[in-house]
Amino acid sequence: MSLKKISLLSLFTLCLISAQAARFDIVNQCSYTVWPAATPSGGGRQLNSGQTWSIDIPAGTSAGRVWGRTGCSFDGSGRGSCQTGDCGGALSCSLSGKSPVTYAEFTLNAGNNQDYFDISVIDGFNIPLQFAPTSNGCNKVLTCQQYSCPDAYQFPSDGTKLVSCPGGTNYRVVFCP
């Protein structure tokens, strides 16, 4: 196969993946700095009060998580620690956060072209969180202001908290809604 054909095929594949990716807008409305993290794709970064971080999560992503970390300090190479939600001392996370941590969890384009999402406080609560779809006419907003919030998973077998939207939906995660 020629280099030109390979390049065109790669570009076409990239366009297909991008078209099916879900946009996640992560917003910090807290009065303090939050270091959001996202796995398995996205990593992490510093988000000052009032800032938004937008990431594209590929269709087919399962067991995805977004969470906020607090009280963090990192050096120039991205090594450090956080008081809550720390992920092995890394700015860009590949591991889940350490308790206590409030998770926005999701699986994209699963069975029957559905996205599934929830908020979990199974591993504790560290930051108020809202998780909501922003497209496809889906209006299922989840909000958790404290540990015992009715919209969040409280224990692992709590199967009543999972909600769904059509695949290809975009989302907004807000800290301190």
Q: Shortest CA distance to 146 belongs to which of 171, 119, 173, 169? A: 119
Q: Judge whether 6 lies within some domain.
A: no
Q: Judge whether 61 lies within some domain.
A: yes
d(CA 123, CA 156): 10
Q: Judge whether 95 lies within some domain.
A: yes
Q: Judge whether 13 lies within some domain.
A: no
**Residue at token pair 């969040």:** 152
Kindly indicate the confidence band of residue 83, based on its pLDDT and cuts at 50, 70 and 90: very high
Range of the domain at 166: 22-175
Per-residue pLDDT of 113-144, as tens digits, reads 999 999 999 999 999 999 999 999 899 999 99
Q: Judge whether 112 lies within some domain.
A: yes
Which CATH number fits the domain that encloses residue 50? 2.60.110.10
DSSP conformation letters of 94-125: SSPPPSS--EEEEEEEEGGGEEEEEEE-TT--
**Mean pLDDT in the chain?**
89
Q: Judge whether 38 lies within some domain.
A: yes
Q: Judge whether 2 lies within some domain.
A: no
Query: Which pTM does this prediction carry?
Result: 0.86
Q: Judge whether 128 lies within some domain.
A: yes
| Domain total of the chain | 1
Q: Note if the bond before 40 is cis, omega within 30 degrees.
A: yes
